[in-house]
Amino acid sequence: MIEEIKKDFPLLENRDIAYLDSGATTQKPKEVIEAIKKYYENSNANPHRGAYSLSIEATEQYENTRTKIAEFINAKHREEIIFSKNATESLNLIAYSYGMDNLKKDDEVVISIMEHHSNLVPWQKVTKATGSKLNYMYINENYEISDEEIESKITDKTKIVGITHVSNVLGTINNVKKIIKYAHKKGAIVIVDASQSIPHMKIDVQELDADFLVFSGHKMLAPLGIGVLYGKREILNNMTPFLMGGDMIEYVYEQETTFAPLPNKFEAGTQNVEGVIGLGAAIDYIQKIGYDKIQEKENEIISYARQELSKLKYLTLYLTPNAQNHSSVISFNIKGVHPHDVASILDSENVCVRSGNHCAQPLMRFLGIDSTCRASFYFYNSKEDVDRLVFALNKAYKMFEKFIKTN
C-alpha cells in the first residue's frame, strides 16, 4: 500500500530521501498540484470583485471550499470558517480581536508550556497591554498535562485558555475535550491549535465544543500560505476586525466605516485563492484515503519508530510512555552532540529531520535543553524510512563517539 501512496507524491518519487519533517510541512500529492494548475489555467480571477463569469466562477470555487471545510470539521455554520495565511495569523487575530477587547485587569489567560510561540507570544503582548496575567499549565514526567494541573491552573479568574491539541515537539496528544469542558465550567473560552492534529485525526468542533480552532493547510497536504480559523458564530460576530481594507468593508464614509458580515469582515484584501483551492483538494485526498486508514498506517510506523529508537542507548527520547497519547512526532538527542550536527549527518544519508527549538523555547528551557532533533511522520512514510533513520543515527554516533567519551 505504501508504495502506491508514494506514487501520488511527485517529490517522494523524484528524490531518494526519507522525508521525516512533515510536522514542518507535508509533501503535496498530484491531486493538489493539479487542482492549483487547473485553477490558474481555467478559472483565475479575483473572487468577490467582478460581475463577469470568470470572476463568479473563481468566487464559487473559493466559497465552495469554505463549505467543504465547514463540513470537514463539522462546523455548525459555513461563515464560521475564516481563511488566513496560517495558524499563526489565525492565533494573532484571536489574540488581538478577541483578547484585547475582552480581557481586563487581573483576568487570567492560561496556556500550556508546550505551546508554539504563535500561541504564546501574542498572549504575552495582550496580557501586558490589558493588565491581565499569563499563567502556564506544566507537564509531568510523562510529558503530559495532569488533571490536577488543569484544575489548579484554570480558575474562576481564567477568561481564555489556549491549548495545542498535539505538541509539535513531544507529540503528546492533549485531552482538549476535557480541558474545554473544565474551562467552560469556569466561564473561560478555549482556543485549540490543531496544526499538528488535523493532518492525522478527525476533528469535530461541535463535539469538542471548541470556541476557536486553528490550523495550517501546508501541514495537511495543502500549499503554503493558507490557514483556517474556526470560531463560534456568536463570538465572531462580536469581534472587531483585525485587518482593514478590501472585501471586509461594507460602507466607507470620510470619518466612519461599517464592516461586512461574517466571514468577509475578517478576510481583508485579495485572498490566497490558489491556496484555498489547494486546501480543498487536500481535504478531498484525505477523505479519499480516510482517517481510519491514515491512523492505522501511522500507528504502525510510530510504534515501529518508538521500538527501534528506544534500542539506541545513546539517544535521549522526549516522548510519553503512553503510546495511546502520542501522535506523529518524536524528538531526540544524541547525548553530547549538538542537534544541528546530528541533522547534518542525517542529511548526508538523505534523511530529512528538523533540528532546533521548534518555535518552543519555553518548553526547551523547562526540559533543561536548548534544542532537539525531531522526526515527524505521515502516512506516506514506511518502516524503511525508520530503518534509514536508525542507520544514519548510528553513523552519527560513531563519528562523535570518541569525542563524547572524552568529554
Q: Which residues are identified as catalytic?
A: 359
CA distance 197 to 165: 6
- Between the alpha carbon of residue 85 and those of residues 227, 237, 272, 338, the distances in Å are 5, 21, 8, 33
State in Å, rounded, how far the first CA of the chain is from the last one: 46
